[in-house]
Amino acid sequence: MPTSAVRPAALQATSAAHASHAAPPDAHPVPDRHGASLFTADPDLRALLPLYLPADLFNHLLPHLERMGALAGGVLDELANVADHAPPTLSQRTRSGLDAQRIHKHPAYVELERVAFAEFGLAAASHRGGVLGWDKPMPPAAKYALTYLFVQAEFGLCCPLSMTDSLTRTLRKFGDPALVERFLPNLTTQVFDDLYQGAMFMTEQGAGSDVAATSTRAVRDDSAEGGWRLVGDKWFCSNPDAALAMVLARVEDADGTAVDGIKGVSLFLLPRTLADGSANHYRIIRLKDKLGTRSMASGEIRLEGAHAYLVGEPGRGFVQMADMINNSRLSNGVRAAGLMRRALTEGQFIARERRAFGKRLTDMPLMRRQLLKLTLPTEQARTMVFQTAEALRRADAGESDAYPLMRILTPLIKFRACRDARKVTGDAMEIRGGCGYIEEWSDPRLVRDAHLGSIWEGTSNIVALDVLRAIRREGSLPVLQAHLQGLLRDTPLHATARATFEAAIDSAAALAARAADAGADGDVMARQAASALYHVTSAVAMAWEAGRIGSVRRMRLAQLVLVHRVLPQDPLAGGAEPEWLAETVAAPADGVAHAAGQVDQVNVF
């Protein structure tokens, strides 16, 4: 295992031999924060978590967060870089000529799997007690806090993690109890060799966003394990060798008739290996050569009469799958937030350590402006992660109004945070200068991975339209407005700032209502409406957090979100740098910047 602490003797000898060629003492090497914890680099995370976790769980998790932060900043980052440059391969036969498909994963990736699934139990934490010594299932915010750190090193594996977690959730919600009893222990085990990973095979060549066009057929067959056989092609299948996959297929009667459209689509559980130990009847046709998530396999699958179990009611496949998709969309938001945080942490470090023209980069006004532009979307996304995770916890607990709130916050974060991550990772790459473009640094990986978030689990258009669907079908808009007004009431605010926040909530809600009420004619406004709601929601929630932790800096950031992303601006206005900018873009020393009393003095409008 390569770690920065272990330097092989051969390497040390080489270094000594080359000592005479060492750089002169006044040379300024390229700064490298490798090996430093990503948890301690981000004290706001520690300051904010007690707002979203019960005190006993927060205290219990603290050493685990510290350990995850240290690993993600060091050895996991090294493993991720190795795995990213050594993608998995597919072989069809054993060396002795037996047909046996196998995906070969690099040992670095397998080690990442071990840390995530076995050591930290990230896929199991929501489903049973005992993970990391906590005796109950953990609330979503706990799992996502750890994932937020893990993904700052490795993004690709977070798909199988989320799929396993979400498949387990969907199976428990809709699956036959006997099926749940049979598979739950393997899906939630932390014994690595016993683990069953999950996957979701939904997309077909002719049915991506348009799931109603699904053409894979499901035929009743009592002789098959599970009672059904699946026939068809699935075009995008991440984690294709997973032990279990949720698959959408159209039930076909014995005479070949099937119900058209979304009402004909049902949900099936597909085991990779049948109960008698033989391989199920499907093949991985090939693996995709991808821009990002290169460490993790995505493939194409041909179902050749594969045995499968029906999950839930026939014809309600998409409705049931929607639960899994929503969970994956939230997980995507968490990943986007983590990618941005990693990019910002790197950017802050370089700006502090790198010198040009006799100054530190951070002493230059344009660099401070650049850092602010990275900081705002990064902080917005983090706040949205925890707001959505808390809404999900309350919805699962059956609290009134929590479901419609969760139902709108989820597409909001998936839509906007995933788009912001593309820009933030790209702009952070530029802060490192030329080195940012070089594959031995984390930046290219972050940029490549960030671009996927907006595509899978629903493209930006589809997810923005889902925001309107939540408004139309779940009545989510008044619930969101009430939630934001409640947060504002609970926040000490300067009078002008309060009026500005209130007006912003009203304007964003009016735009979203107009888009939702206009039917198909309103679709063209879906992205604008989703962006407006996201920015206003994150700004209000950040202000609330600022009041709670007594952070003047965070209150300023909350207000700047409105200034930069919601309120009208004159692009030709220019203007001097505000005196508070340097302090606002510097990494906070302790996360709790100032006493609570000062928060209500802040007004940047």
Ligand X SMILES: Cc1cc2nc3c(=O)[nH]c(=O)nc-3n(C[C@H](O)[C@H](O)[C@H](O)COP(=O)(O)OP(=O)(O)OC[C@H]3O[C@@H](n4cnc5c(N)ncnc54)[C@H](O)[C@@H]3O)c2cc1C
Chain contacts with ligand X (rule: CB under 6 A): 200-203, 208-210, 236-238, 290, 293, 298, 452, 455-459, 461-462
> Smallest distance, Å, CB 451 to ligand X?
9
Burial state string for 193-228 with b = 16 or more CB within 10 A and e = fewer than 16: eebbbbbbbbbbeebbeebebbebbbbeeeebbbeb
> Smallest distance, Å, CB 404 to ligand X?
23
> Smallest distance, Å, CB 448 to ligand X?
11
User: What is the 8-class DSSP label of residue 435?
Assistant: G
∠ CA(311), CA(314), CA(318), 5° rounding? 75
Angstrom distance (rounded) from CA 596 to CA 310: 55
> Smallest distance, Å, CB 200 to ligand X?
5
Tokens of 408: 């709108």
Query: Closer CB to ligand X, residue 298 or residue 370?
Result: 298
Query: Closer CB to ligand X, residue 238 or residue 326?
Result: 238
> Smallest distance, Å, CB 586 to ligand X?
37
Closest CA to 563 of 477, 497, 481: 497
Query: Closer CB to ligand X, residue 91 or residue 205?
Result: 205
Angstrom distance (rounded) from CA 93 to CA 331: 35
Query: Closer CB to ligand X, residue 58 or residue 201?
Result: 201
The gap from C-alpha 346 to its chain's centroid, in whole angstroms, comes to 19
> Smallest distance, Å, CB 583 to ligand X?
41
Question: DSSP per residue over 350-392, as a string?
Answer: HHHH-EETTEEGGGSHHHHHHHHHHHHHHHHHHHHHHHHHHHH
> Smallest distance, Å, CB 162 to ligand X?
10
Closest CA to 62 of 76, 77, 44, 50: 50
Query: Closer CB to ligand X, residue 461 or residue 603?
Result: 461
Query: Closer CB to ligand X, residue 379 or residue 457?
Result: 457
Angstrom distance (rounded) from CA 391 to CA 397: 10
Query: Closer CB to ligand X, residue 79 or residue 200?
Result: 200
464 with 415: CB under 8 angstroms?
Answer: yes
Rg of the Cα trace of the chain? Answer: 25
Query: Closer CB to ligand X, residue 414 or residue 556?
Result: 414
209 residue type, one letter: S
300 residue type, one letter: E
3-state secondary structure of 99: strand
Q: Given the DSSP bridges, would you call strands 282-287 and 298-311 parallel, antiparallel or unpaired?
A: antiparallel
> Smallest distance, Å, CB 169 to ligand X?
16
> Smallest distance, Å, CB 236 to ligand X?
3
Positive or negative, the CA dihedral 321, 323, 328, 330 is: positive
Query: Closer CB to ligand X, residue 307 or residue 527?
Result: 527
> Smallest distance, Å, CB 290 to ligand X?
5
> Smallest distance, Å, CB 334 to ligand X?
17
161 residue type, one letter: L
Query: Closer CB to ligand X, residue 298 or residue 551?
Result: 298
Tokens of 120: 């930290």
The gap from C-alpha 446 to its chain's centroid, in whole angstroms, comes to 13
Tokens of 512: 């979203």
> Smallest distance, Å, CB 165 to ligand X?
14
Query: Closer CB to ligand X, residue 86 or residue 462?
Result: 462
> Smallest distance, Å, CB 489 to ligand X?
38
Tell me the residue nearest to ligand X as measured from the CB.
208
Query: Closer CB to ligand X, residue 446 or residue 602?
Result: 446
Closest CA to 143 of 88, 188, 199, 177: 188
**414 membership: H or E segment, kind and range:** helix 402-431
Angstrom distance (rounded) from CA 482 to CA 540: 12
Angstrom distance (rounded) from CA 604 to CA 496: 9
Angstrom distance (rounded) from CA 299 to CA 362: 44
> Smallest distance, Å, CB 447 to ligand X?
15
Question: DSSP per residue over 183-203, as a string?
Answer: HHHHHS---GGG---EEEE--
Query: Closer CB to ligand X, residue 270 or residue 488?
Result: 270
Query: Closer CB to ligand X, residue 162 or residue 189?
Result: 162
Angstrom distance (rounded) from CA 342 to CA 334: 12
